[in-house]
């Protein structure tokens, strides 16, 4: 009996230790992955002539990355702030944001959806590169700002792979985007390391489908939208007022979209996911001024 008690105690202790080690290992792995992602982004920057920091024109203050800007400044590499998704923002707001950011860095606003602004961007790239015979650009930023879309538009339909450039790590392939502009074939994605999970999901850095409680993110968004532009949301979901309670809005969306559980009860969890998917997908206009 005494041996059985000791054995049981050790088993419980082992379970606790195992759980602690698992949590520590997961944290360490996440930390290692993020360090690797940072290294990859900074490697792209170090080997480029011009850096394009792509930010979400709807959320310009939240989507800038100070570490990228400090790093390029330290290496004296020209940086252009590219305000993307400006088809979802009034031109006057884009112009105002551009004027403010231009005090620090050259800034161009574009819409990869409508292919607007890319000509001006190309001209800015050539100008900042001091008209080098061949210009290598790096496209970087946090997730969900449209970096891949920008790369595809700059590349156009006919892309000539150029192999590897001397001095560039082997896994960094280059493609020609114009006669004298080259780009790395993969944008540099820097993790959005905001401590608030709701903010990360709101920015699209975390998938709403992977959250334990998507309602929290939807409520965070609705609280935020009341202080900014809400007409797009009201019109898309045919709301009577943005001043409705958060849960009432989500319930309305569920009924409006036919998202019902057994017995006709509104599936508010799925409605919250729909709301955030459609926001991050740019299916209704929204913006925040700085």
Gap between the terminal Cα atoms of the chain: 70
Q: According to the model, what pLDDT value does residue 222 have?
A: 96
Contact 246, 222 (CB under 8 A): yes
How far from 48 is each of 127, 135, 182, 220, CA to CA, in Å? 15, 8, 9, 38
Q: According to the model, what pLDDT value does residue 37 have?
A: 65
Contact 217, 211 (CB under 8 A): yes
Ordered domains of the chain (ranges, CATH): 37-189 (3.40.50.300), 197-280 (1.10.1580.10)
Q: According to the model, what pLDDT value does residue 1 have?
A: 47
* Bridge partners, 79 (sequence order): 51
Q: According to the model, what pLDDT value does residue 24 have?
A: 47
Contacts of 173 (CB under 8 A, 6+ apart): 161, 163, 164, 184, 185, 186
For 109-128, b/e burial (b = at least 16 CB within 10 A) is bbbbeeeebbeebbebbbeb
For 172-205, b/e burial (b = at least 16 CB within 10 A) is bebbbbeeebbbbebbbbbbbebeebbbbbbbbb
Contacts of 157 (CB under 8 A, 6+ apart): none
Q: According to the model, what pLDDT value does residue 154 have?
A: 86
Q: According to the model, what pLDDT value does residue 16 have?
A: 60
Nearest Cα to Cα of residue 112 among 139, 145, 159, 78:
145
Nearest Cα to Cα of residue 221 among 201, 205, 243, 206:
201
Q: Of how many residues is the chain composed?
A: 290
Nearest Cα to Cα of residue 225 among 144, 289, 287, 271:
287
For 1-36, b/e burial (b = at least 16 CB within 10 A) is eeeeeeeeeeeeeeeeeeeeeeeeeeeeeeeeeeee
* Bridge partners, 25 (sequence order): none
Q: What is the pTM of this model?
A: 0.80
Ordered per-residue pLDDT tens for the chain, 290 residues: 444 444 444 465 556 655 555 544 544 444 455 566 678 788 889 989 999 999 999 999 999 988 899 999 999 999 999 999 999 999 999 999 999 999 999 999 998 888 888 889 999 999 998 877 889 999 998 888 888 888 888 887 544 344 444 333 445 678 888 888 888 877 777 766 677 888 888 888 888 888 889 999 999 999 999 999 999 999 999 999 999 999 999 999 999 999 999 999 999 999 999 999 999 888 999 999 98
Phi first, then psi: what are they for 282, rounded to 5°?
70, 35
* Bridge partners, 136 (sequence order): 182
Contact 257, 275 (CB under 8 A): no
Q: According to the model, what pLDDT value does residue 6 have?
A: 43
How many CB atoms within 10 Å of residue 53? Answer: 28
């Amino acid at each position: 009996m005494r041996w059985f008690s000791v054995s049981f105690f050790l088993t419980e202790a082992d379970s606790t230790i195992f759980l602690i080690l698992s949590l520590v290992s997961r944290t360490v792995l996440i930390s290692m992955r993020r360090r690797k992602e940072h290294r990859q982004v900074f490697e792209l920057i170090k080997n480029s002539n011009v850096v394009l920091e792509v930010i979400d024109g709807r959320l310009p203050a939240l989507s800038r990355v100070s570490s990228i800007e400090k790093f390029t400044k330290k290496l004296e590499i020209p940086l252009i702030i590219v305000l993307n998704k400006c088809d979802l923002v009034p031109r006057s707001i884009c112009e105002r944001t551009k004027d403010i950011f231009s005090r620090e860095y050259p800034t161009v606003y574009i819409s990869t959806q409508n292919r607007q602004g890319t000509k001006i961007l190309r001209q800015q790239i050539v100008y900042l590169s001091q008209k080098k015979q061949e210009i290598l650009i790096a496209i970087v930023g946090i997730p969900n700002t449209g970096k891949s879309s920008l790369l595809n538009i700059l590349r156009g339909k006919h892309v000539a792979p150029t192999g590897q450039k001397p001095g560039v790590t082997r896994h960094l392939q280059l493609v020609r985007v114009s006669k004298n502009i080259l780009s790395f074939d993969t944008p540099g994605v820097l993790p959005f390391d905001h401590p608030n999970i709701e903010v990360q999901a709101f920015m699209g850095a975390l998938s709403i489908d992977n959250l334990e409680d998507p309602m929290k993110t939807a409520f965070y968004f609705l609280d935020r939208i009341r202080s900014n532009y809400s007409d797009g949301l009201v019109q898309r979901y045919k709301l009577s007022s943005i001043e409705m309670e958060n849960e009432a809005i989500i319930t309305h969306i569920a009924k409006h979209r036919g998202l019902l559980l057994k017995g006709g009860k509104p599936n508010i969890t799925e409605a919250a996911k729909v709301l955030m998917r459609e926001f991050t997908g740019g299916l209704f206009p929204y913006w925040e001024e700085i």
